[in-house]
């Protein structure tokens, strides 16, 4: 159970659950008591960026003893800055820059589709109830917003294990641990 610290306390002191999730070399599940009644169907949101960390998290997830009717929603988030090039800042952008923008957008959309298809294939042997979702925006916010909208019971994300100043400033998995209302699986790549 995570007791939850807020504001500046959470940034400097952290919670035991967050420290364990950051420092552990193994995957970690943080169980939070549900705020509503026990669900009839377990709803899992698997957020993936297509990295090895995400793939390992998907493999770990597929080995967990969930009921057969568990709902898996696979989410990929394309960062907003890739999808919103600076046309709004310079209305007289030349045609070549507009074409480059379209190429980047098309590449990111195709990459997202590939990530979602690969993840669905990875989990498809274990789960029958899988859906894929694609969002554009800040990954942490979109994962949390989607989990709340879907009333997910578990968010599964991979973790690169950022250390030092990058880790202190926060990663997606760390933001999920701090702000998620539901339980969380932080998948780590094991080199054993």
Specify the pLDDT at position 22.
73
What is the C-alpha to C-alpha distance for residues 145 and 142, in angstroms, rounded to an integer? 5
| Bridge partners of residue 185, in order along the sequence | 29, 156
What is the C-alpha to C-alpha distance for residues 60 and 88, in angstroms, rounded to an integer? 43
Specify the pLDDT at position 36.
62
pLDDT band at 112 (very low <50, low <70, confident <90, very high): very high
pLDDT tens, position by position, 27-85: 888 888 766 666 788 999 999 999 998 999 999 999 999 988 999 999 999 887 655 55
Distances (CA, A) of 40 to 36, 69, 70, 71, 132: 12, 9, 9, 11, 21
**For range 99-109, the mean pLDDT:** 86
Whether the per-residue pLDDT at 16 is higher than 80: the answer is no
pLDDT tens, position by position, 122-180: 999 899 999 999 998 899 999 999 999 999 999 999 887 555 444 443 488 888 988 89
**For range 106-135, the mean pLDDT:** 94
pLDDT band at 93 (very low <50, low <70, confident <90, very high): low
Going along the chain from its start, the domains and CATH numbers come out as 28-187 (3.40.50.620)
CA 31 vs. chain centroid, Å, equals: 17
């Amino acid at each position: 159970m995570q007791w939850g610290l807020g504001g500046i306390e959470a940034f400097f002191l952290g919670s035991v659950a967050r420290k364990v999730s950051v420092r552990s070399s193994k995957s970690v599940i943080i169980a939070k008591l549900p705020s509503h009644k026990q669900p009839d169907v377990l709803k899992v949101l698997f957020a993936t960026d297509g990295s090895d960390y995400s793939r390992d998290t998907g493999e770990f997830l597929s080995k967990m003893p969930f009921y057969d009717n568990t709902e898996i929603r696979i989410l990929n988030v394309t960062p907003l800055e890739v999808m919103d090039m600076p046309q709004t800042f310079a209305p007289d952008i030349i045609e070549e820059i507009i074409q480059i923008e379209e190429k980047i957008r098309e590449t990111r959309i195709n990459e997202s589709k590939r990530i979602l298809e690969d993840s669905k294939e990875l989990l498809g042997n274990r789960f029958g109830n899988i859906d894929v979702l694609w969002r554009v925006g800040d990954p942490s916010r979109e994962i949390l917003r989607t989990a709340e909208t879907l009333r997910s019971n578990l968010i599964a994300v991979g973790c690169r294990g950022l250390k030092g100043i990058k880790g202190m400033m926060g990663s997606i998995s760390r933001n999920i641990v701090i702000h998620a209302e539901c339980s969380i699986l932080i998948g780590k790549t094991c080199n054993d």
